[in-house]
Amino acid sequence: MVGQTEKPPDPRWAWAAYEPDADRPWNLAQAGHLYRRAAFGANWEQLQQALSDGPQRTIDKLLRPQAETAQFNRTYDEYEAATGSVDQLRAWWLRRMIQTPHPLQEKMTLFWHSHFATNAAAVKNARLMQQHVGLLRGQALGSFRILLKGILQDPAVLLWLGAEANRKASPNENLARTIMETFTLGPDHCTENDIRNAARAFTGWFVLRSKLRYISREHDNGEKQILGRSGNFARDDVTRIILEQPATSRRLVQRLYRWLISETAGPDEALILPLAESFATDYDVLKLVETMLRSNLFFSPAAYRRRIKSPAEFALGIVKALEGTVSTTQLANDLADLGQNLYNPPTVKGWAGGQHWINSTAILARQNLASALLRGSGPYGDKLNPWGIAQKHGCATPESAQSFLLDLFLQGSFGPDVNDALLKTRGRQDDDGGGRTRSLAHAIVTLAEFHLA
């Protein structure tokens, strides 16, 4: 782990492409690591294919899948557009995460959902929330420049921030403050005067009958001073000025570093700088994500299991591995109980993540959710069958199923005490292989290792 007491890695080595060698082989553990970060976990066939393909070809497929992603998205967009409630939208999004041929796109949509946190309970309009998440998905791996412009024109965002009536006589500083302090620059890189003047530049924009409208007489045409620039600025000028600030690209790279590399320690400034400078030239999210996923640093111990899974990552990791589809309406409710209520991030800062996901109550709730998913009855029915999956992939006994499930869920990477604990669990079972294997699966997915991405 790269911590404060360790020497930070050389940036040239860190961001160079990983090439397997005798000291750093491409193996099941590395394949599982990649799928935990760039997707929601993997099934056995995907892990085996990754071993065969090698890291670079596997990353190629995650970044630019050959499957008909556009048609899949159109189909799901039509379903979601026809929904009448946010509860239905949550269920459809989870189903989309499970079935998508482009899991990295959905993983990055989830990232932006927390970054541009917008709460449906305040917006009170499911259609606007569907459009909001659609905006995030459309640029999840696209242009941050286009995404930021879209956010400033998004009725859901304006309603959430109380900026639906931005009049010249009373500019909405909450919108300007959130854009500058939370979504881009950070609180230490803009002044109260910058915020007041940006608020003036945003005047004239209203949300009327759920649509964005511009009323020219309500726009402040006076000269404004924003981040060292002076002029008769309007909304798009503020976007341009913000994106020209080095603090914006640095902060976004730091956020993505925490999402894709490690959340255990803040990255060294020298490590971030080359990526931030490159990102600032075009704000191409795909290029930045690709650099991180292909890097030596990503495939080093400094990144391995250095993130705590969110509730969605935890649950979907079980579902994906066992090749099933469960009731996503029920799952959305259970994830909300665990603190990750999709479409309803708690504040404009999104979900804090990290250790905030884990406490004694949350651990017990995760164990209960895993039990419900694997039980074979109850709200999730018999949609996930560990014994059936083990048999499908060549296991004939509970003992062989245990080894298989350890590789499937943990990719063989776990502490020395795990096998002893699982032997005790297996020894307490006296029914057939199906019951034993459900208990073993539950024991594995409630190990500390499985909570780490």
Residue 416 lies in a domain: yes
pLDDT at 6: 63
Contacts of 38 (CB under 8 A, 6+ apart): 59, 62, 103, 104, 107, 260, 293
Q: Please write the tens of the pLDDT for every residue from 189-221.
A: 999 999 999 999 999 999 999 999 999 999 999
Query: Of 1-15, 51-65, 324-338, which range is least confident?
Result: 1-15
Residue 233 lies in a domain: no
Q: Please write the tens of the pLDDT for every residue from 306-324.
A: 999 999 999 999 999 999 9
pLDDT at 158: 98
Confidence at 83, pLDDT banded by 50, 70, 90: confident
pLDDT at residue 404 tops 50: yes
Per-chain mean pLDDT for the chain: 94
If we measure between CA atoms, which residue out of 354, 353, 335 comes closest to residue 344? Answer: 335
If we measure between CA atoms, which residue out of 56, 36, 3 comes closest to residue 302? Answer: 3
Residue 338 lies in a domain: yes
pLDDT at 421: 65
> Can you list the pairs that 184-192 forms with residues at least 24 positions away whose Cβ atoms lie under 8 Å?
184/148, 184/242, 184/243, 184/245, 184/247, 184/248, 184/251, 184/252, 185/242, 185/245, 185/247, 185/248, 185/251, 186/247, 186/251, 189/245, 189/247, 190/227
The CB density around residue 240, as the number of other CB atoms within 10 Å, is 13
Confidence at 122, pLDDT banded by 50, 70, 90: very high
* Three-state secondary-structure class, residue 61: helix
User: Which tokens sit at 96?
Assistant: 């989309």
Q: Please write the tens of the pLDDT for every residue from 435-444.
A: 889 999 999 9
DSSP state, residue 5: T
User: Which stretch of DSSP H or E encloses residue 266?
Assistant: none
Give bridge partners of residue 229 from the DSSP assignment. Answer: 226
Structural domains of the chain, count: 1
Give the C-alpha separation, 190 to 24, whole Å.
Answer: 43
Give the C-alpha separation, 130 to 16, whole Å.
Answer: 38
Confidence at 418, pLDDT banded by 50, 70, 90: confident
Query: Which ranges constitute the DSSP H helices of 100-165?
Result: 103-115, 120-123, 126-138, 144-152, 155-160
Q: Is 323 or 359 the better-scoring residue by pLDDT?
A: 323
Q: Please write the tens of the pLDDT for every residue from 225-283.
A: 999 999 999 999 999 999 999 999 999 999 999 999 999 988 999 999 999 999 999 99
Residue 30 lies in a domain: no
pLDDT at residue 402 tops 80: yes
pLDDT at 391: 96
pLDDT at 265: 81
If we measure between CA atoms, which residue out of 98, 128, 134 comes closest to residue 212? Answer: 128
Give the C-alpha separation, 191 to 199, whole Å.
Answer: 12
pLDDT at residue 424 tops 80: no
pLDDT at 286: 98
Residue 45 lies in a domain: no
Average pLDDT of span 99-125: 98
Residue 395 lies in a domain: yes
pLDDT at 221: 97
Q: How far is CA 114 from CA 119, 342, 344, 353, 432, in A?
A: 10, 9, 9, 10, 44
* Three-state secondary-structure class, residue 212: strand
Contacts of 290 (CB under 8 A, 6+ apart): 59, 63
Q: What is the dihedral of CA 409, 414, 420, 424, to 10 degrees?
A: -30
User: Which stretch of DSSP H or E encloses residue 231?
Assistant: strand 229-231
Confidence at 373, pLDDT banded by 50, 70, 90: very high
pLDDT at residue 412 tops 90: no
Angle at which helices 86-99 and 126-138 cross, to 10°: 30
pLDDT at 52: 98
Residue 362 lies in a domain: yes
User: How many CA atoms does the CB half-sphere of 417 hold within 13 Å?
Assistant: 3
Residue-range definition of the domain harbouring residue 342: 311-451
Residue 124 lies in a domain: no
Q: Is the dihedral of CA 272, 275, 278, 282 positive or negative?
A: negative
